[in-house]
Amino acid sequence: MLKYKRILLKLSGESLMGNKEFGIAPEMLQHYAEQVKALVDLDVEVAIVIGGGNIYRGLQAQESDIGRVQGDYMGMLATCINGLALQSVMEKNGIYTRLISAIEMKEIAEPYIRRRAIRHLEKGRVVIFSAGTGSPYFTTDSAAALRANEIKADVILKGTRVDGIYDKDPEKHTGAIRFTKLSFDDVIKKGLKVMDMTAFTLCQENNLPIIVFDINDPSNLVNLIKGESVGTLVQG
């Protein structure tokens, strides 16, 4: 018995770099493809939102005299590049996919139409949402929260390089304490960083659970779907 039937997996663009300083590491694409394939084989409906920070971050624009709006659009295009790369490797692994873009570019991706995206999921296709929300000033966290609510996902699974939410950065503080469960109010009271506040509030208002977990452990995704305690669960 699976705990979650339809999920939205949020991946950072930086996670695609592997040990590189920028760009896409082929072994990371294969790593994700294999994990998603394991979910598809269990008949889980999988949607993915991937960032673009391995190629370009909107905030970099402030250091290069590029306006915020143009910089954000450049970041959105970077997510499309990552989406195409992920789609290609997934299809080589026998996974049917659809790349959907919030910015129309019909030659490479479908435009975002909510009912069509849901239908793809129902037919067992992995849906990769790219170009964020299609508007500047919103992060890919916000895009993940928005799309997850629109497709009525059971949960947002936020894959990171740490194994959950801590009271302080575990990569900088050896005594950091990991939480296994938190309420939305707990996260706000403790000032914990889970998602940006726009995305987090959207999840809170719609009572959409968030699980933060270590994406580098290949067993975590399947164990999560089966209801095992992995990472940190944030819920109402």
* pLDDT at 175 > cutoff 90: no
What does the pLDDT look like over 17-48, one tens digit per residue? 888 888 899 999 999 999 999 999 999 999 99
What does the pLDDT look like over 51-83, one tens digit per residue? 999 998 655 555 677 888 998 999 999 999 999
Average pLDDT over residues 104-118: 97
pLDDT for the residue numbered 169: 86
Tokens 């095992």 sit on residue: 228
Q: Report the CATH fold assignment for 6-235.
A: Carbamate kinase (3.40.1160)
* pLDDT at 152 > cutoff 80: yes
Structural domain spans, the chain: 6-235
CB burial string 172-211: b at 16+ within 10 A, e below: eeeeeeebeebebeebeeeebebbeeebbebbbeeebbbb
pLDDT for the residue numbered 60: 59
- Cβ-Cβ contacts under 8 Å for 2 (sequence gap 6 or more): 42, 43, 44, 225, 226, 227
What's the N-to-C CA distance of the chain in angstroms?
23
Per the DSSP assignment, residues forming a β-bridge with 50 are: 11
pLDDT for the residue numbered 62: 58
- Cβ-Cβ contacts under 8 Å for 36 (sequence gap 6 or more): 9, 46, 48, 90, 95, 126, 221
pTM for the complete prediction? 0.94
The larger pLDDT score, comparing residue 15 to residue 63, is at 15
DSSP designation for 140? H
What does the pLDDT look like over 123-147, one tens digit per residue? 999 999 999 999 999 999 999 999 9
